[in-house]
Amino acid sequence: MKFNILVVDDELNIRVGLGKSLEMDGYSIFLAEDGNEALKVMLKVEIDLVISDLRMPGLSGEELLKKISNSYPTVPVIILTGHGTVENAVNAMRDGAYDFMTKPVNLDRLTLLVKRALSSRELVLQHRALKEEVEKLEKKRNYSNIIGKSAQMQKIFELLVQVAPSKASVLITGESGVGKELVADALHQLSTRGDQPFVKVHCAALSESLLESELFGHEKGSFTGAVGLKKGRFELADRGTIFLDEIGEINQSVQIKILRVLQEKAFERVGGEKTVQTDVRIVAATNRDLKKEIEDGNFREDLFYRLNVVNIHIPPLRERKEDIQLLAASFLNEFAEENNKSIEGIDPKAAMALYNYSWPGNVRELRNCLESAVVLCKKHIISIDDLPPALTEEPEGNYIKITMGISLAEAEKIIIRNTLNQEKGNKSKTADILGIGRKTLHRKIHDYGLEDEFLR
């Protein structure tokens, strides 16, 4: 990446001198003699870093800093100050300057500072690239907002396009939060029924009797409270798609009725005699293992085969970690916009934590995590402090911290001492765990000066 640096100073010598030195470090340099001129340059060129003097005629460094913080919040500003004005520099830090340097400028220190300041700028640009990738993906698949570049998700996209136009029943399986409902949406949108009703039924949310009248409707007076005729969801979905969410939760009598709709495209309303014809495409979803439910006698095998003409299985997020970065970038943009915040990236530590976490709640949990991170974030980049503690806690188990830079012998000593401690000094158990003989263990205890602790 070639970065553009803007040097602002009213003294020609300083401006040109700093510019030359930074140019030799491989940056593109732009020069301005006061704040106003600097702003003009920034309108024309995308500047990645500003180095500015404080005292200048025209628009001063302080005022320039304020304008940049407002209009270009992710562009770092390094302030230059003469002797005796350090106090002003401290104020500037409070106003959002990245750092300050006193004149005469130490060029080596400047090089370091510039490098450091640009590393966070690099994150911003990386995030922008991801954002563009998300947008491109969305354009390519104008039918849905399902994001994913993993091989598994690519396969699902292919399957979707292939299956959607048919009338085949589809069973979507996968853990909670993997995106089953999104896929059901896409199936409907992509089908020839896209402009017809898409009716969703959350089967687990309704009691048995309510579910039956919800699905199939009821005749007037069929039970107390049934004041008028009510059309059921199967009738409302006529010519469209019905989405039966959490199908694993329905009872046997509703299972039989649904089976009949699949076989005969007909049903009766609750308390009614008349047969109602309907033409619906059935998409069902579950996070249960229906095969096991069949074995346990909770789910009808014949219904399973009718529903499962095509199976779309969405793997958990931990099995397609390549999707995490893209999903996170997309949720970040969504929530930054919703909360009117200019957050333009995720720092490497936080990104690593997102990647390493196992996401038991899958994409839904990732989405919630980014929403809270955006709300908590006080800067322009999400950092590890903005993430929930669960993501940064060490996984369960006993750990030994070994700092980089120590010798193999030192590491061995630490491992032996900790294992002995864990085994309460039992040498044969410790030797077993470490995969060495008892004699070797004794020798090492001696060599590492651990006798006082363990050989009494």
Ligand X SMILES: Nc1ncnc2c1ncn2[C@@H]1O[C@H](COP(=O)(O)OP(=O)(O)OP(=O)(O)O)[C@@H](O)[C@H]1O
Applying CB under 6 A, the residues found at the interface with ligand X are: 145-148, 174, 176-182, 287, 327, 363-364, 367
CB of 206 to ligand X, least distance (A): 15
Alpha-carbon distance of 426 to 441, in angstroms, equals: 11
**CB of 69 within 8 A of CB of 101?**
no
CB of 381 to ligand X, least distance (A): 22
Residue 242 binding: pick among ligand X, Mg ion, none (C-beta 5-8 Å cut-off by kind): none
* Residue with the two structure tokens 């060495």: 436
> Given the complex with ligand X, which of 18 and 329 has the nearer CB atom?
329
95: Cβ–Cβ under 8 A, 6 or more apart, which residues? 62, 65, 66, 69
CB of 202 to ligand X, least distance (A): 8
Q: What is the DSSP string of 370-405?
A: HHHHHHH--SSSB-GGGS-GGGTSPPSS------TT
CB of 181 to ligand X, least distance (A): 3
Residue 240 binding: pick among Mg ion, ligand X, none (C-beta 5-8 Å cut-off by kind): none
Residue 179 binding: pick among ligand X, Mg ion, none (C-beta 5-8 Å cut-off by kind): ligand X
> Given the complex with ligand X, which of 111 and 308 has the nearer CB atom?
308
Q: Of 92, 65, 68, nearest to 81 (Cα)?
A: 92
Query: Which sign, positive or negative, has the C-alpha torsion 402, 404, 409, 410?
Result: negative
Number of amino acids touching Mg ion (CB under 5 A): 1
Q: Please tell me whether residue 181 binds Mg ion under the rule CB under 5 A.
A: yes
> Given the complex with ligand X, which of 52 and 330 has the nearer CB atom?
330
CB of 141 to ligand X, least distance (A): 11
* Residue with the two structure tokens 């030994």: 400
CA distances from 424 to 240, 315, 410, 420, 454 (A): 68, 43, 21, 6, 9
> Given the complex with ligand X, which of 34 and 249 has the nearer CB atom?
249
CB of 233 to Mg ion, least distance (A): 16
Q: Of 316, 309, 213, nearest to 268 (Cα)?
A: 213
**Does 395 sit behind a cis peptide bond, omega within 30 degrees of 0 on the bond before it?**
no
Q: What is the DSSP string of 271-332?
A: T--SEEE---EEEEEESS-HHHHHHTTSS-HHHHHHHTTEEEEPPPGGG-THHHHHHHHHHH
In the bound complex, which residue of the shown chain has the CB atom lying closest to ligand X? 179
- Read off the tokens for 60: 């001063």
Residue 36 binding: pick among Mg ion, ligand X, none (C-beta 5-8 Å cut-off by kind): none
Residue 433 binding: pick among ligand X, Mg ion, none (C-beta 5-8 Å cut-off by kind): none
> Given the complex with ligand X, which of 38 and 324 has the nearer CB atom?
324
* Residue with the two structure tokens 């409902």: 181
Residue 91 binding: pick among Mg ion, ligand X, none (C-beta 5-8 Å cut-off by kind): none
CB of 323 to ligand X, least distance (A): 7
Residue 65 binding: pick among Mg ion, ligand X, none (C-beta 5-8 Å cut-off by kind): none
CB of 256 to ligand X, least distance (A): 25
> Given the complex with ligand X, which of 118 and 285 has the nearer CB atom?
285
> Given the complex with ligand X, which of 76 and 174 has the nearer CB atom?
174
Q: Please tell me whether residue 364 binds Mg ion under the rule CB under 5 A.
A: no
| 321-340 residues labelled b (16+ CB within 10 A) or e (exposed) | eebbbbbbbbbbbbbbeeee
> Given the complex with ligand X, which of 109 and 136 has the nearer CB atom?
136
H-assigned helices in 141-205: 151-163, 180-190
**By the criterion CB under 5 A, which residues form the site for Mg ion?**
181
